[in-house]
Amino acid sequence: MDSLGYFVTIDADECRRLLGDAVVGRVSWVSAEHGIQVLPVNYGVVGEQIVLRVATGTVLEELASGVDVAFQVDDLDRTTGTGWAVLAQGTTARWTGEVPVITPWAPGSRELAVAITPTHLSGRSVSADEAV
């Protein structure tokens, strides 16, 4: 059986552009109290930093104390079988700079700003069709 479709590696500059264009991603880390976490968050980009707003008293507050994380954004189209995904791996810290405009989808107050400093960026695009 012939294999259709393909994966293409996305270079670091394109990964940065895609991170800057998206508004929601998934942050993943191992919580000492709650185990593996993968949560959707709205975010903004300032320079090389990925900035999140988080609420105190939530599991996301752990990110302000500095943890290793993975942060993933994507755009997948089930109809066409195409899409891309970008993965940023890095560490978090409380953000003290100017916070970009971040419009949360979920209600509630978010008192803390947290930055992810990526140490590694990777990405892939995928298509169910043959490469042209």
Q: What is the pLDDT of residue 1?
A: 39
Q: Whole-model pTM? A: 0.89
Per the DSSP assignment, residues forming a β-bridge with 94 are 114
pLDDT mean values, one per 10 residues, the chain (132 residues): 74 97 97 96 96 94 96 95 97 92 84 96 89 50
Q: What is the pLDDT of residue 107?
A: 81
Q: Domain residues of the chain, as ranges?
A: 6-127
Q: Are 6 and 130 in contact (CB under 8 A)?
A: yes
- Domain spanning 6-127: CATH 2.30.110.10: yes
Name the amino acid, one letter, at 96: T
Q: What is the pLDDT of residue 101?
A: 83
For 125, list phi and psi in degrees, rounded to 5: -105, 155
The angle formed by the CA atoms of residues 21, 86 and 38, to the nearest 5 degrees, is 100
